[in-house]
Structure 1
Amino acid sequence: MLPMASDDSSKKKKLKLKQKQKQKQREKQKKSLSDLKTLGEQLLTSRAYINNLPILLTFITPNSSQSPQYALESLLSLQSFFTPLLPQLPSSSTHSTNPDPEFIYRTWLRSKFDDFIHRLLDVALSSQSEDALREVVLDSIMEFVKVGNAGKFHSAIYHKLLHGIVHSALGVDDILLNLLATKYFNYIDVCYFTYISLEKQARNLEREEDKNGSQNPEDKIQSKSSMELSVHKMHNLLSRIPPLEASEEKLDREMWNGLGILVEKSSKKERIANSQESNDKVLSSRSMAKKMKLKFTKAWISFLGLPLPLDVYKEVLVTFHQAVIPFLSNPIMLCDFLTRSYDVGGVVSVMALSSLYVLMTQHRLEYPNFYDKLYALLEPSIFMAKHRAKFFQLLDSCLKSSLLPAYLAAAFCKKLSRLALFVPPSGALVIVALVHNLLQRHPSINCLVHREGGTDTTRETFEDKKGSLENAEDCDASRHVSDEKPGIDHFNAEESDPKDTNALRSSLWEIDTLRHHYCAPVSRFVWSLENDLAVRSRAAEIAVKDFSAGSYGTVFNNEIRRRVKQVPLAFYKATPTYLFSESDFPGWTFKLKDEGSAKRQRT
């Protein structure tokens, strides 16, 4: 029994010691809160109170049990103390055996300043700190970034800040990222060094990804999740930076540091010979714009080399043609990334189409399999995709060239017509507009127009269309179709290569079926298409953008806004007992059950 008693007594002693320590901390806090201001004032007045510096540093901590007033009071005193001394302090990497007491004193101050910056970063990057305190800490860090390097932009401190943000556990929508973007990304020098820092971090993350290949499965999962979070935050920072000006002469954005961006440093001998004078040169507006474009390009190219999560991948591709490509120093550098994205298929290919189209039309990118991949994207699911409006407009633009081969134009025309049988009414309207434009731009495929034989008008129109064909082989293909048995369609909808689809041996019978579509706007639109084809002169093209963003809602709203002059009415002398009449289905009979069985069922 004695050992049990000793154990209880030891536990009681430990509890008493903890309680005493907590009481001491509370008494210290009560005394420190009233004395912190005095300690700061003493530190600012005389060197005799330099020992107050380490005491004030201890209060700058992200500890949630401590009131933020202590950290705030210490921060104000230390910032006022270090700001005028920074130009006199040696660099952090200086190692000298100089016995001068003044030099030793300044080296010690530099170490305390580095400790001060480290503590500020801990507070700013901690989720335990209050948001108001983190905002004040961020402003203090940026003030040291502004003048910390002998009056120049202190890129090392700023790099530590961005490195901590990217590699910390902070979320993508954390207040610190929003504050940094909204308050400081309007300054061009801050954006300049942001590009430099993010480029370095992207390269480091790429090396870490290569090293993680030999890890355990559990470690791989953790490293992958942390990598994805870092990539999300890097994309958030890159996308929040305001776009560059298109003109180099209009680069008039403000500088966070008054000296601007300094480059072309002098050699070591010159700096040693004349340590007081700097031979750095400030960039002019024109050269600064070129430098910004170069750093912008390097940052984005390094970022795109990372394993991007799918949601980030899609966000990048959506705005790539507007927010990135126009501001790159050499957009052709993106050809590998965009061609790989275009080869993925599905929604990713649709999103990559805009940027790839810009490179092909504006920067002379050659992509031989472009139309084959574009043909493969024509699936029923594309008519329900989120970015279908932009896709249909680009599809119409890609098929606008008069140099397009006849077999390719016919394959697209036939594939779209076949899709009209499966898509909703809004998709059918887009298809009719696209087919109309294809037939107007490429007279060589007018042999695909479906006509019912037996009327003089249709025969005459058919002969007129055949006379306008430019390719003799296409005419032969159309004659071959007319001589074959009716009801046979040689088009292979499952073929992925447009050359082997036999589209020129087919006809647009699918468009003809749309004349009897259950949706009135679709049937009216098809009738207008036939009227345009009947006119010998070339009709105007249809603006696809007017139909590309359509849906059931838009079709319904447009229909109820129409002013209808004649309304079909149904009048019955007697209440009908069946839905369809026998004349609608010749050879079929619709009879009710005999009355006797019906009566028995009712009883």
Structure 2
Amino acid sequence: MPTRVDGATGSRKRKTPKEAGVPSSKRRAVADNQPEDDAMDEILKLEEQISESRKYYNNIATLISMLNADEPGQEPNLLVAVSLCRVFSRLIAGGNLNDSKRAAENEKIIVAWLKERCQEYQKALVSIMRNADTSSQVTALTLCMRLINERVTHIPSADSEVWSSGLFKGVFEAVVEARDGQVLQSEFVEKFVQPYEDVRYYTFVQVSEYAATERTSETLEILISLLSHCDSAPSTDHKFEAFYIKSSSTNKRLTSVNSHRKRAQDAWLAVLNNNLSQSQRKSLLRIMAHTIEPWFSRPELLMDFLTDSYNVGGATSLLALSGLFYLIREKNLDYPQFYTKLYSLLDSDLLHSKHRSRFFRLMNTFLLSTHLPATLVASFIKRLSRLALNAPPPAIVAIVPFIYNLFRHHPICTFMLHRVIRDQNFQKELEKEGMDDPFDPNEPDPTRTDAIESSLWEIETLQSHYHPNVAAIARVISEQFTKQQYNLEDFLDYTYQGMLQAELGSGEKPLKRIPVVEYQIPKRIFTDRGLEEDGGLDTAPGSFMRALWDFS
């Protein structure tokens, strides 16, 4: 019986994946990964050769050519970018990029050549940050910041150049101007600006320089966002400890509170003086008190911006009030027409504005002073009363307690509530013919409106308001003033939704009387026969109510 004869081991042929029983899908995956593995092996080989000997420095130029940073339609090779970062980090740490006066001429040539290649690599990374996809942008940012760390750490003389006019300047401009750079900007803020105080300091420097020239609204929006995330101004006893570069802890500028405040102040001023849109001006005014002013060692520098905003009118003026009043009270800002401008802001739009509550809080502070003339306070009271006639119920609910408090703080104005007419003939004439209201609503000067000679007939009119809550609170003015004052915070945030929920409650409140919708419910509405059967209703064929619909 014939038997199988085994051949020699050395003569065996290696089986292909197909002969070995490997599935076709896995064979395709192996084939696809093979070029990537080969490319990675080539990159690592070039990198290792550079670290082994100077004679392989030309590999740096080869790797840069493989980066594809400026090739249109091609994704940058991030493996090459990371490899080059390691290469230059080792060269910088080894002192191969340091200039030395005592070095030989050929050494100087090599150093100059390496510097040129490093600059070329840095420009490639910045280009990737500007134009590549999101993942590549974030990777390029990380590599750039690592190079900054290496250069400043091992070449102390390059500190000022790197931060002010070198790589960091390019990084900052690329972050601001990057295509679809929202993720890149968030990464820059969250990973570098917020955690590290030296990066934040030099970011302020770059913003002030960048915003010194006129920029577009989109660019300014990015700058405002960057600065807004730096909302924690250091206190006078703050100790600077979180530095991206360890050597920064010995820099006196970076460990000085005044220096940080000065740089932030310059950055904000550059943005505020730029080509701001109306919406950007409003957003800046909203964060003025909590985010911007704390950085200013000289808040009076905000005077021009706030006064210009206050003179715009409308919601912009309302938002500028708090910052302007702070300068008046704390920094003795002279604004002689402040109350005249404040009076002009009282219009019908104010009572429908979403900033209404904020305005009433501020106006309550402005009018509490007992040194204000009664004629001025009376004008505000009368103006508010007149506006209340056409105001929404949530606004009226705040106006009446506000007026009540003003009467308590300025008792001389209570003459507007009740006047005794001693002349009987004039009394009879008044009852017969009435009289004109002496208040002049068109007078812009609140001290010359003659409001003190008028009365609050508007509030009495509101006592018949359709909304029971409004009518009830309006009656407070006609009753004896037994309450010291109202807490305005209980009334300022009223809304239609809140008033409706308060009226409906939880649904368990029983109705004292079922509301009547019809005094007589008809059997039919749209036919003559039905109307005739009901009797007592409009049975005329040409009834106006039925003529409103045509069902033919």
TM-score by length of 1: 0.73
Pick from 449, 464, 468 the counterpart of residue 417 of structure 2: 449
Residue 84 (structure 1) shift: 3.1
Distance 1:321 1:596 in 2: 69
**CA separation of 1:360/1:568 partners in 2, compared to 1, >3 Å: closer, same or farther?**
farther
Residues 194 and 482 of structure 1: CA distance in aligned 2, closer, same or farther (over 3 Å): farther
Aligned-pair CA distance for 1:142: 0.9
Matched, 1:202 2:211: yes
Compared CA separation, residues 572 and 310, structure 1 to 2 (3 A): closer
Within a 5 Å distance, the mapping from 1:80-95 to structure 2 comes to 80-86=86-92, 88=95
In structure 2, C-alpha distance between the alignment counterparts of 1:310 and 1:359, rounded to whole Å: 22
Amino acid at match of 2:322: S
CA distance in 1, matches of 2:228, 2:37: 46
Task: State the match for 1:221 in structure 2.
Answer: none
**Which residue number in structure 1 is paired with residue 24 of structure 2?**
none
1:169: how far off? 5.4
Q: Report the alpha carbon displacement of residue 77 of structure 1 after superposing the two structures with TM.
A: 1.7
CA distance in structure 2 between the aligned counterparts of 1:83 and 1:316, rounded to whole angstroms: 41
Aligned to 2:242: 254
5 Å matches for 1:280-359? 281-283=251-253, 285=255, 288-359=256-327
What is the match of residue 45 of structure 1? 52
Change (3 A) 1:253 1:497: farther
Q: 2:467 aligns with which of 519, 527, 546?
A: 519
**Cα distance, 1:514–1:46 mapped onto 2, change above 3 Å:** same
Alignment of 1:420 with 2:388, yes or no, is yes
Q: CA deviation at 1:387?
A: 2.1
Separation of aligned partners in 1, 2:96 and 2:448: 76
Question: Per-residue deviation at 1:46?
Answer: 1.7
- Cα 1:558–1:366 shift into 2, 3 Å: farther
CA distance in 1, matches of 2:542, 2:254: 100
Deviation of 1:382 (Å): 1.3
Per-residue deviation, residues 460-510 of structure 1 (Å, max 9, x unmatched): xx99xxxxxxxxxxxxxxxx9999674421112222221232111110110
CA distance in 2, matches of 1:508, 1:104: 90
Partner secondary structure for residue 201 of structure 2: helix
Match of 2:125 in 1: 120
1:565: how far off? 7.8
How far did 1:326 drift? 2.2
How far apart are the structure 2 equivalents of 1:426 and 1:321? 27
The percent identity for this pair of structures is 26
Specify whether residues 53 and 425 from structure 1 end up closer, same or farther in structure 2 by C-alpha distance, changes over 3 A only.
same
Distance 2:353 2:486 in 1: 22
Whether 1:375 and 2:340 are equivalent positions in the alignment is no
- Do 2:231 and 2:292's aligned partners in 1 also have CA atoms closer than 8 Å? no
SS at match of 1:378: coil
SS class of match (1:393): helix
The aligned residue for residue 227 of structure 2 is 238
In the alignment, which residue of structure 2 is the partner of 1:552?
Answer: 496
Deviation at 1:568, TM superposition (A): 4.2
Aligned to 1:144: 147
Partner residue in 1 for 2:533: none
Q: C-alpha distance in 1, partners of 2:254/2:65?
A: 44
The equivalent of 1:175 in structure 2 is 183
Deviates most, 42-51 or 105-114: 42-51
Letter in 1 for 2:247: L
Measured in 2, the distance between the counterparts of 1:293 and 1:413 equals: 42
Query: Is 1:227 equivalent to 2:236 in the alignment?
Result: no
C-alpha contact (below 8 Å) 1:450/1:512 kept by paired residues:
no
Contact kept? 2:376, 2:446, Cα under 8 Å: yes
Q: Is the 8 A contact 1:89 1:107 kept in 2?
A: no
Measure, in 2, the Cα distance between the counterparts of 1:103 and 1:394.
68
- The 1-side partners of 2:428 and 2:502 are apart by 40
Structure 1 residues 89 and 558 mapped into 2: Cα distance closer, same or farther (>3 Å)? Answer: farther
1:103-114 counterparts in 2 under 5 A? 103-114=108-119
User: Residue by residue, what CA displacement relative to the aligned partner does 1:496-531 show, whole Å, maximum 9, x if unpaired?
Assistant: 221232111110110111111111111111223433
How many residues are treated as equivalent by the alignment? 483
Q: Which stretches in structure 2 are left out of the alignment for 5+ residues?
A: 1-33, 523-535, 548-552
**Higher-RCO chain (CA-CA 8 Å, sequence separation at least 6):** 1
* Residue type at the aligned position of 2:269: I
Judging changes above 3 Å, is the alpha-carbon distance between structure 1 residues 374 and 566 closer, same or farther for their aligned structure 2 residues?
same
Q: Quick one: which amino acid aligns to residue 78 of structure 2?
A: L
**1:77 is aligned to 2:65:** no
Mapped to 2, the partners of 1:429 and 1:108 lie a distance apart of 77
Letter in 1 for 2:184: L
> Alpha carbons of 1:596 and 1:240: their partners in 2 closer, same or farther (altered >3 Å)?
closer
Q: Distance in 2 between matches of 1:74 and 1:571?
A: 82
Residue equivalent to 1:278: none
Does the C-alpha gap of structure 1 residues 514 and 170 become closer, same or farther in structure 2, counting only changes over 3 Å? same
Answering whether residue 392 of structure 2 is matched by residue 392 of structure 1, we say no
Mapped to 2, the partners of 1:437 and 1:365 lie a distance apart of 28
Q: What stretches of structure 1 of length at least 5 have no aligned partner?
A: 1-26, 207-225, 263-280, 452-458, 464-479, 578-590
- Post-superposition Cα deviations, 1:62-108, rounded to whole Å, max 9, x if no partner, equal 5464455xx222122211111133263568xx899986111111111
Q: Aligned AA for 2:467?
A: C
Counterpart of 1:364 in 2: which secondary structure? coil
Q: Does the CA contact (< 8 Å) of 1:131 and 1:175 recur in 2?
A: yes
* Pairwise CA distance, 1:175: 1.1
Q: Write the distance in 1 (CA, Å) between the matches of 2:428 and 2:48.
A: 101
Q: Specify the code of the residue in structure 1 equivalent to 2:353.
A: A
334 and 574 in structure 1: CA distance in 2 versus 1, 3 angstrom threshold: closer
Distance 1:233 1:518 in 2: 49
Is the 2:463–2:471 contact (alpha carbons within 8 Å) kept by the matching residues of 1? Answer: yes
| Residue 463 of structure 2 is aligned to residue 495 of structure 1 | no
